[in-house]
Amino acid sequence: MMEAERIFRPNRKASLGVRRRNDRGETEIVYYPSRLEFVNGERLWFAAPQERGTLVPVGIGETLEVYVIGDNEVFFFEGEVQDRVKRGNIAYVVFAMPEKVVRKQRRNYVRFEAVLPVLLKKAERAFPGTTKNISGGGMLVQLREGRDVFEPKEELLFLLSLDGRDIVGRAQVVRKDGPGLYAFQFSEITDRDREDIIKYIFQKQIELRRKGLLKR
């Protein structure tokens, strides 16, 4: 297996996929946000999945899909719940260290097709548009005004709406791909905002896989 110490670091965000039956009696995997709280020898302690503040029932011996978000990488394994532990007000699910881990991405940020509102500001003018794709490193934007307004290497302030949260930063024009269509690289963005973008892509990919629209 890949280096466990590099992959399984405490405080890394994760997603736990729990098999449940829907209203039609079909089995589906529902994903809940989690976090790798700590590593104890050969055991991984994750925050127990919750829904609206209520613990999701997970049984010992139940197999979950586990995604761990690393540094520009996403790691996947299927793990059997070894134990459920509650310490104070915090509940955990415990897995054995997996023998096999699949790495989903490496080094380069994964681009994901997504239509999200974005506002670009140049001097005192604002240019609304939408993304055509997005990654942790940048975005491809179609301006509402389908004409050329930016120059290569020009740096602009941007405001991106991501699942109800506004992300503000600076982006540099990398290239022009068509009338009013520009590729940007993020030049100023907080680690948290970049992580939220990667997490957004990660969750959307999971939804597509669950629907059979994206291969693992």
Q: Are residues 11 and 103 in the same domain?
A: yes
> For the chain, what is the domain count?
2
83 and 149 in a single domain? The answer is no
For residue 97, tell me if it sits in a domain. yes
Q: Does 103 share its domain with 122? A: no
210 within domain boundaries: no
Domain that holds residue 95: 4-107
User: Which long-range CB contacts under 8 A does 62-66 form with residues at least 24 apart?
Assistant: 62/18, 62/19, 63/19, 64/16, 64/17, 64/18, 64/19, 64/93, 64/95, 65/16, 65/17, 65/29, 65/31, 66/14, 66/15, 66/16, 66/17, 66/95, 66/98
Number of helices (H), then strands (E), in the chain:
2, 16
Structure confidence by residue, pLDDT tens digits, 75-119: 889 999 999 999 888 899 999 999 999 876 544 467 788 999 999
Whether the CB-CB separation of 156 and 173 falls below 8 Å is answered with: yes
State the virtual CA torsion across 212, 213, 215, 216 in degrees, nearest 10. -70
Residue whose C-alpha is closest to residue 5's, from 44, 60, 35: 44
Query: Do 94 and 11 share a domain, yes or no?
Result: yes
Which DSSP symbol is given to 59? -
The one-character DSSP state at 180 is: T
- For residue 194, the model assigns a pLDDT of 85
- Domain shared by 101 and 116, yes or no: no
- Domain membership flag for residue 213: no
pLDDT at 206: 76
Do residue 87 and residue 136 come from a single domain?
no
CATH number reported for the structural domain that contains residue 52 in this entry:
2.30.110.70
- Tens place of pLDDT per residue across the chain (216 aa): 457 888 899 999 888 988 887 777 777 788 888 999 999 889 999 999 988 788 999 999 999 999 888 776 788 899 999 999 998 888 999 999 999 998 765 444 677 889 999 999 998 899 999 999 998 889 999 998 877 889 989 999 999 999 888 999 999 999 998 889 999 999 999 877 887 888 788 778 777 776 665 554
Partners of 117 in the beta sheet? 130
pTM of the model: 0.57
